[in-house]
Structure 1
Amino acid sequence: MPTPETSDVLLQEFLADPAHLTLDLSAAVARCTRALDLQHAVVYLVDLQQRHLVPQTDVASSMPVDGSLAGWAYRTQALRVEEAETGGVTAWLPLLDGAERLGVLAVHASALTSATLTRGRALASLLAMMITSKRAFEDSFVRHTRTEPMHLPSEMLRAFLPPRTIGNSHVVSTAVLEPAYELGGDAFDHSLTQTTLHVSVVDAMGHDLASGLTSAVALAACRNARRNGADLPTLVGSVDDALARWLPDQYCTAVLAQLDFETGLLRWSNCGHPAPLLIRDEQLITDALEREAEPPMGSPAQLSASPRRTHETMLEPGDRVLVYTDGITEARTREEKLFGLERFADYVIRATAGGELAPEALRRLIHSILDSQSGGQLRDDATILMFEWRPPTR
């Protein structure tokens, strides 16, 4: 049996060996598990709609995110332990890449000790980084996390999307987008600099490949301006110009926002989009971010005589801001009733009051909307992006 010292040496040798960079995931898991003196480990990745945890091996079965201990670890981002059927224990550890939830890691050991947990957490951290680095070019990860074929417009748009969740010690931003395999023109983006969270939600006209291309160009123009150091008004103008130049017959509505997470100053521009919602102290602050409507992005903006406006407000610690597309509020239940703004806000408020993490609150909300639809299908794209300002207590 390896001692702690030899385990450290084996792990160091693995990391120092350039060959590990080309290993497939199962081989890397096996080598790391032996190096850390663990009995066995299995990686489970969450599917695209966050309903199932899919094992990356043929010797295990998928498990539901709702209704399993593994799913509990995923939902709460916390350790869960149970007795294994073959003896010993199984520790379920969340696989996290920063704030992004990838799935869970099952670590099987003869007994639960502090050393086992430390090594299991180290393995989970290492594998999360490996998965993130490889899934952009290894289709095996994508295939494992899809439950049905994806339409071409959706394939194109998803290539542009960032991780579902990003964050740091001051702020977290998380998003969901449905229908997962049949997207038309909805898209989102979020990113972090040293002091600022940047978010974008766009909704392109139509529901076809041209709509997806419109959103893709809007996101690309937004990122290009942002990475060149543009301020918010210049960034908005860059997107307008790009769409008017390259896709003059297309347009999209959008909310583009920047949050200074040191001070809580929120700046945003609303281009023909539903107004963002502000939830504070478990209450919806009615019309807090409501402003006079402006033209959609693209050619309509070029025809307007008025310049784009940028709005500002100060957030308070714990505030949650929701940016969404009208596919959310205009979704209909099986009884043909609108899901509506009040029901939407009420769900988020109850999730906040229950202490749910932001990514979990959105996961459950979008499933609630989908499950209430006839046939489980939305009539239009539905996107929600929520960010929460949570500065450290001074």
Structure 2
Amino acid sequence: MSTSEASEALLREFLADPAHLTLDLATAVTRCAKALDLQHAVVYLVDLQQRYLVPQTDVAPPIPVDGSLAGWAYRTQALRVEESHTGGVTAWLPLLDGAERLGVLGVHSPALTTATLIRSRALASLLAMMITSKRAFEDSFVRHTRTEPMHLTSEMLRAFLPPRTIGNAHVVSTAVLEPAYELGGDAFDHSLTQTTLHVSVIDAMGHDLASGLTSAVALAACRNARRNGADLPALVRRVDEALAGWLPEQYCTAVLAQLEFETGLLRWNNCGHPAPLLIRGDQLIVDALEREADPPMGAPAQLSAEPRRTHEMRLEPGDRVLMYTDGITEARTREEKLFGLERFADYVIRATAGGELAPETLRRLIHSILDSQSGGQLRDDATILMFEWRPPDR
């Protein structure tokens, strides 16, 4: 039997064995690498703020996302190769769960051959699925990706949040949320059906546990209505009823939207929230999505005699829509200047013109805002969600 056939046999044996489902990640990596005839492999998961790639072993140190080849593979979602100080080469491969960036896989080998590269890619795909299936219930993954203790409100909200990035052949949606460990009432949601992208950005009144609970109830009501087949007006109404019934003294502002993949038709409701921004090509289309806002969600809406309004607009291929909370535009630099709407939009425009991936644009943008703050701390929660409509060529 050839080496290749032996490796394939070992991999089939590994995958066919139900016992591998209960293996810890380090053991699974070792066995998979051996089955694929790879010398050595290490998984690095990105930390919560996407500043470091943290190894799932105590042998290697964390690697900065910025200023390293491993980080370059993460940022660009592409293969990078470098010479190893111990001899041979190290291939850095992105670990992806669909559109979501989990981290990178480092594979060390004497030389990078076509066969080695194919096996390394296969290992990266397999491990990404393993990590995705286990991280919801294995706290070891969470601990490895946190650099400081998390507050209770933030812990509760993050349990409700979806992956940072989702997408398919028609659309990509990505979000960032700070302060990572001390959230008050900001939250976001995005999901896909066969025909539609559903997105929402929520900002609850206050900055305490009640605020977090308000956002959590709003998210749950959104999902419950959506999964029961409600259209957008009925979904918004369900959130209003849930908040008014369970938390009558609390409220939140929000933008809830739906984008049809095939037509680019965007529908949205603005419930007392900053209007979304539309970036088309290399410019901000001023006031394109500016509409008079309805009352905030919850009791204020229930007390209003006016019905909520659903707005519509047809996007063009390549359009990017930004939804955000006021913690972004009201953030202040060390010189006490507002970050502002223009600087916010300009940053995204320049990144788009440079061909940067949407998740990377938001990662660098939120770091830019944080790094400009005194002590690196925001005065309020700051959330950005951006989606891009990119239909396949017809």
Report the TM-score range of the alignment, normalised by the length of the smaller protein.
over 0.9
Q: Which residue of 2 aligns with 1:164?
A: 164
3-state SS of 1:159 partner: helix
> Is residue 330 of structure 2 the alignment partner of residue 358 of structure 1?
no
- C-alpha distance in structure 2 between counterparts of 1:52 and 1:262, whole Å: 38
Q: Which runs of 5+ in 1 are unaligned?
A: none
Q: Which residue of 1 aligns with 2:114?
A: 114
Q: Is the 8 A contact 1:45 1:145 kept in 2?
A: yes
Instruction: Report the CA distance between 1:315 and its aligned residue.
Output: 0.3
Q: Is the 8 A contact 1:205 1:252 kept in 2?
A: yes
Counterpart mapping for 1:86-101 below 5 A: 86-101=86-101
Q: Which residue of 1 aligns with 2:337?
A: 337
- C-alpha distance in structure 1 between counterparts of 2:35 and 2:110, whole Å: 16
Counterpart mapping for 1:278-357 below 5 A: 278-357=278-357
Q: Which residue of 2 aligns with 1:10?
A: 10
> Is residue 382 of structure 2 the alignment partner of residue 382 of structure 1?
yes
Gap change, CA 1:4 and 1:312, over 3 Å in 2: same
| Root-mean-square deviation (Å) | 0.7
3-state SS of 1:190 partner: strand
Q: Which residue of 2 aligns with 1:271?
A: 271
Percentage of pairs with the same residue: 89
Q: Which residue of 2 aligns with 1:228?
A: 228
Q: Which residue of 1 aligns with 2:142?
A: 142
Q: Describe the superposition over 1:246-299 as per-residue Cα deviations: whole angstroms up to 9, x where unpaired.
A: 000000000000000111000000000000000001100000000012100000
- C-alpha distance in structure 2 between counterparts of 1:133 and 1:196, whole Å: 25
Q: Residue type of the partner of 2:205?
A: M
3-state SS of 1:321 partner: strand
TM-score (norm. length: structure 2): 0.99
Q: Residue type of the partner of 2:197?
A: L
Instruction: Report the CA distance between 1:132 and its aligned residue.
Output: 0.7
3-state SS of 1:93 partner: strand
Q: Describe the superposition over 1:137-163 as per-residue Cα deviations: whole angstroms up to 9, x where unpaired.
A: 110000000000000000000000000
Q: Which residue of 1 aligns with 2:69?
A: 69
3-state SS of 1:118 partner: helix
Q: Describe the superposition over 1:88-147 as per-residue Cα deviations: whole angstroms up to 9, x where unpaired.
A: 110000000000000000001111111111100100000001001101111000000000
- C-alpha distance in structure 2 between counterparts of 1:221 and 1:123, whole Å: 39
Gap change, CA 1:2 and 1:149, over 3 Å in 2: farther
Q: Which residue of 1 aligns with 2:24?
A: 24
- C-alpha distance in structure 2 between counterparts of 1:203 and 1:286, whole Å: 23
3-state SS of 2:175 partner: strand
Comparing 324-333 with 83-92, which one deviates more in the overlay?
83-92
Instruction: Report the CA distance between 1:2 and its aligned residue.
Output: 6.2
Instruction: Report the CA distance between 1:3 and its aligned residue.
Output: 1.4
Q: Which runs of 5+ in 2 are unaligned?
A: none
Q: Residue type of the partner of 1:264?
A: G
Q: Is the 8 A contact 1:2 1:37 kept in 2?
A: no
Counterpart mapping for 1:194-213 below 5 A: 194-213=194-213
3-state SS of 2:206 partner: coil
Q: Residue type of the partner of 1:340?
A: G
Q: Is the 8 A contact 1:170 1:389 kept in 2?
A: yes
> Is residue 190 of structure 2 the alignment partner of residue 190 of structure 1?
yes
Q: Describe the superposition over 1:12-42 as per-residue Cα deviations: whole angstroms up to 9, x where unpaired.
A: 1111100000000000000000000000000
Q: Which residue of 2 aligns with 1:240?
A: 240
- C-alpha distance in structure 2 between counterparts of 1:279 and 1:115, whole Å: 43
3-state SS of 1:142 partner: helix
Q: Is the 8 A contact 1:90 1:107 kept in 2?
A: yes
- C-alpha distance in structure 1 between counterparts of 2:95 and 2:262, whole Å: 28
Task: Give every structure 1 segment of 4 or more consecutive aligned residues whose post-TM-superposition deviation is greater than 4 Å.
Answer: none
Q: Is the 8 A contact 1:218 1:243 kept in 2?
A: yes
